A and B are shown apart, each in its own frame.
Chain A
C-alpha cells in the first residue's frame, strides 16, 4: 500500500492563491492540470526533455513535470492561462498568432512562456540568443523558423 501521508501546500498561480492537500509525490504539472484544471500546460515526455510543460516559477522557467508540487510551496507560478490581460492578449501571444509561430499548438504554451523569460532578460536578442532561449522547448511541427520570427516580432513590439 502506498504512503498515506499528505502534504499541505500554498501556491500562487496566475495571481490566485491556492491551498491544497496533495500526495507528496505529485508533480507541479499534475497539480496544475488535475487539481487546478489548467490544462493549457501540456505533458509531452514527462521527463523534462521536451519543454511542453514549461511554466514560470518565481520569474524562472521550469519543467513542471520535474518539480514536485511540494517544492512549489510558497512560490508564485505563471501558466499560459495567466498571460493575457483578460481579453487583451500579451504581445508575445499576438506575435505568435501573426507570424505563424505554432502549428499543432502542443508546444506553444511552453514556448511562449520561455519566450517571456528570454525577452525579460534580453529585450533585444540575436537569433542565436533566441535559439538558446528556447533550446529547452521542442517543436516537431514548425522547424522553429516561424517561432524564431515570432519571437523577433514580439521583441520589437515589446521594446
Chain B
C-alpha cells in the first residue's frame, strides 16, 4: 500500500479539545437574546379524531407569546418520497400514535410554556387502535390511514433465480420464524433546536445529523426559497440514523412560533418525550426458508417479512429495500426471493437506525445457517468459508463487490485460541455455562438514495498558507470532520492544524445528501480530495510558470512545495500561497469538488444494482457466560475481524467498530421497548436497558486490510457491519452455552429461562 503522511495514522480528533473542555456547543446550549421556550402538547390517545382545540385559556396566561396547532401549517406534509408524504408537523384531524404532537406554545420560560400546554383543551373521539402488524393486515382491522389498504404502508418484492427449483434441488431445507426487537438509537442528546425568523428568512440551529433534510423541509413548509433557509449546525450529541435524520414537530413549531412572535424560539425534548415519540428501529418478523446441499453449499433463501411501521411512513421504504438487497451477501447465493410488508399501526414511527434494514434479515440468515450446519454436522466456520464470496463478485441481484476480505476475516477469527480451543474448554462452572458463537456480515457503505446523492467540498487557500475547508457533511460523533481534514492535509502536504473546518452552514457550505449509510468518509471524502487537488493544481500551475517546470512535477509535502528532482526550487507552502494569492492583481484560490462514485444504474423497486459504492465485511466471535438457573447472560469477550478497506484513521475506525458492536450487544440481550396498546412502558434509561460499562466485553479488533477502488485511498465503511454481526454471534454463543435457540431478540434472561425449562 502507498505510504501517506497523515492518511492511515492514529490521529486525535480535530474537535477533541472542544469536547473535553465543555466548549463544544450543542443545540440545547444555544441561547439568544429575547429567546422564547417552546413546548409541545401531546396526544393522550394512540388513535383518535381531533374534534376541537381550544387554546383561548393558554393564550391568556401571562408570559405566553404564541400558540400553534396543526391547521396553522397550511396543509404541509412531508415524507421520504412524493407518494409517501403522510406526516404533518402537528396532527390535524387525527392522532395516530400516543404522544403525537397536537399543539405548541412559545412562552417566556420553560415552566410557563409547560403550564400553558396543560391549559389547551382538546376534544378527542377515541378510535379503536391497532398495534400488532399481523393484526393490522387483516380485513376489518382499524385503518390508520384511509388510503392504505390493509394498512400496508409499503411493500417490496425481490425475486432472483428460482427459489422453488433451488429448494427442490437442496438436500436440506429449513423454515424458521425470527423477530427483531423494538429498539432505539439511545443517544444522550435529545432533539433540540433554536430558530429565528426575520426578513432574511429562517435561521435555525437544529440537532440534525443530516441538516440538508430539514433545509428542504423548512423551505417547502414555509414556502421560502432555499437561499432563505439557513441551517447552522451545532455539535451533535449522537445520531445513528432515524430521528436526527428527519424533521420533527418541534423543528416546525419553533420556526412558525418565531415567525409569529418576532423572537427566537427554542425547544428541547425531554428524554421521555424523545423515547415516547422519536423514530425507532422497525421491529420485523422474518420468516426465512433456506435450502442447502449436503456439503453445506447454499442453494436458495426465501424471506417473507412483516415490519411494524408505526403511524407514518418516514424513511420506511428505504428500510424495506435494505432488508432484502443485502441478503445476497456475504455468501454466494444463486436463488433469492424476498417479500416484505411495512404495516401501519398506532405505534410510534419506525425508521432508520445504524445497521439499517440489514440487521433483521442478516440475524435470521446467520442463525439459520448455524442450525443447518448443526443438522448437517458441518463446522459453523467451515460452512461460512465454503460459501463466502471473494472479490470481484456480482450477486444475483447485480450488487457489485470490488473488494472483499471476508474469507481472510473468517480465517483470522478461526485461528484465535478462543475459537480453536473451544471444544476442549471447560464449559460448566457451577451455575454458569460458557459458549462461543460465530457470525459474518457484509454491509454497504457510500449508500445511495434516489435523487440527490452527492457531497461537495470547497477548499479556500488563505494568503498565509492556511486553509478554510467547507463541507456540507456532518460529524455527529463518528469523527468524519477529522478524517476529512486529514484528506485535505494529505493532498496539500500540510498538517491538520493548518486546515480549519467549520460546521455546516447552509448559507456557506455546499449542499450534501446527509450523514447516513456510512457515506461521509467515502463520498464527502471523495469530494474533499478532489477539491484539495483542484486548489493544488491552481497553485501548481502558477508555480510551474515561475519555476519553468511542468505543473505535474510540483510536489506538496511537509508544508513545502518543490519541483521533483530540483531541490533548489523549494519554497514553504506559506510563501507559495502568498505568491499564488497575490499573482497578477490578486487571485482567489478556491478548489472545488464533488463526489461521483456510485453512478451505475440501479433499480430501486426491484432491488437490483448496488445500493452503495462498496461493502465492509466482518467475521466475529462472541463468548458468553449464561447463568443456567436464571438465564442472565454476560458477554465476556468478542473478536471482530473487520474489512473496512483502508482505515483512514484507525483510532477513529476502531471506535466506530467498538461502538457499533456494543450497540449490537444491547440489541442482542438487553434492549427492548415494552409496549401496551401503543404506549411505551419504559421510556427512560433505567427500564430501557442499554449496555453500561460493566456489561462490556473485552473487544479485540483485527484489521483486514483491503483497498476498494470506489473509496478515497481505498476506504470503506466501519460500524454498520459490527452492529449487524454482533447479535447473531451472541445468540449463537448462547446456544453453544445452553443448547437453546432464541429466535426473538432480545435474548432476555426470561426467554432463555423459559427455553431451558421447555427443553427439560
Contacts and interface: CB of A to CB of B under 8 A. Distances in A.
Interface of A: 2, 33, 37-47, 49-50, 52, 79-81, 83-84, 89, 93, 96-100, 102-109, 112, 130-132, 134-135, 137-148
11 contacts: A2-B111, A42-B189, A45-B685, A46-B270, A89-B21, A93-B20, A104-B187, A135-B692, A135-B693, A142-B655, A143-B658
Interface string B376-399: 000000000000000000000000
Task: Name which of B22, B28, B190, B691 has the most chain A CB atoms within 10 A of its CB.
Answer: B22
B652 A100 contact: yes
A56 B407 CA distance: 50
Given A84-B21, A141-B238, A135 B658 contact: no
B696 A131 contact: yes
B655 A103 contact: yes
B22 A104 contact: no
B436 to A, nearest CB: 20
B477 A103 contact: yes
A81 B558 CA distance: 35
A152 B188 CA distance: 24
B615 interface: no
Interface stretch (B9-17, B504-512, B543-551): B9-17
B60 interface: no
A138 B237 CA distance: 13
B659 A134 contact: no
Contacts of A89: 17, 20-21
Contacts of B31: 37
Given A40-B22, A42-B189, 14 more contacts: A43-B268, A50-B271, A93-B21, A105-B19, A107-B188, A109-B22, A131-B693, A131-B696, A139-B188, A141-B477, A143-B660, A143-B662, A146-B655, A147-B693
A36 B29 CA distance: 12
B654 to A, nearest CB: 7
Nearest to B239: A104
Interface in B270-317: 270-271
Contacts of A80: 20-22
A104 B480 CA distance: 11
Contact of B21 (A81, A107, A144): A81
A42 B237 contact: yes
Nearest to B700: A145
Contacts of B187: 104, 106, 140-141
Contacts of A130: 693
Interface class of chain A by DSSP: loop
9 closest A-B pairs by beta carbon, nearest first, are A40-B22, A104-B477, A143-B662, A105-B19, A106-B237, A80-B22, A39-B29, A143-B658, A103-B477
B686 interface: yes
A144 B25 contact: no
Given A2-B111, A81-B22, A100 B13 contact: yes
B694 A105 contact: no
A47 B686 contact: yes
Contact of B694 (A47, A97, A107, A131): A131
Nearest to A133: B693
Contact of B479 (A49, A103, A107, A108): A103
Contacts of B236: 104
Contacts of B18: 105
Given A102-B19, A103-B478, A106-B26, A138 B12 contact: no
B684 interface: yes
A96 B236 CA distance: 19
B415 interface: no
A68 to B, nearest CB: 15
Contacts of B16: 96-97, 102
B210 to A, nearest CB: 15
B188 A44 contact: yes
B699 interface: yes
B189 A104 contact: yes
A132 B694 contact: yes
A40 to B, nearest CB: 2
Contacts of B662: 142-144
A90 to B, nearest CB: 9
A46 B271 CA distance: 7
B400 to A, nearest CB: 31
Contact of A138 (B115, B188, B478): B188
Given A39-B22, A43-B28, A143-B663, A106 B658 contact: no
Nearest to A106: B237
A89 B270 CA distance: 32
Contacts of A105: 15, 18-19, 24, 235, 237, 477
Interface in B329-385: none
Interface centre among B18, B476, B686, B693 (most CB of A within 10 A): B693
A143 to B, nearest CB: 3
Contacts of A147: 693
A50 B689 CA distance: 11
Nearest to B192: A43
A47 B679 CA distance: 20
Contacts of B684: 45, 47, 49
Contacts of A47: 271, 684-686
A1 B637 CA distance: 56
A140 to B, nearest CB: 5
Contacts of B24: 105
B628 to A, nearest CB: 24
B13 to A, nearest CB: 7
Contacts of A45: 188, 271, 684-685
Given A49-B685, A131-B694, A134-B693, A142 B19 contact: no
Interface string B247-278: 00000000000000000000010110000000
B476 A104 contact: yes
Residue in A79, A96, A97 with the greatest tally of chain B CB atoms within 10 Å: A97
Contacts of B654: 100, 145-146
B23 interface: yes
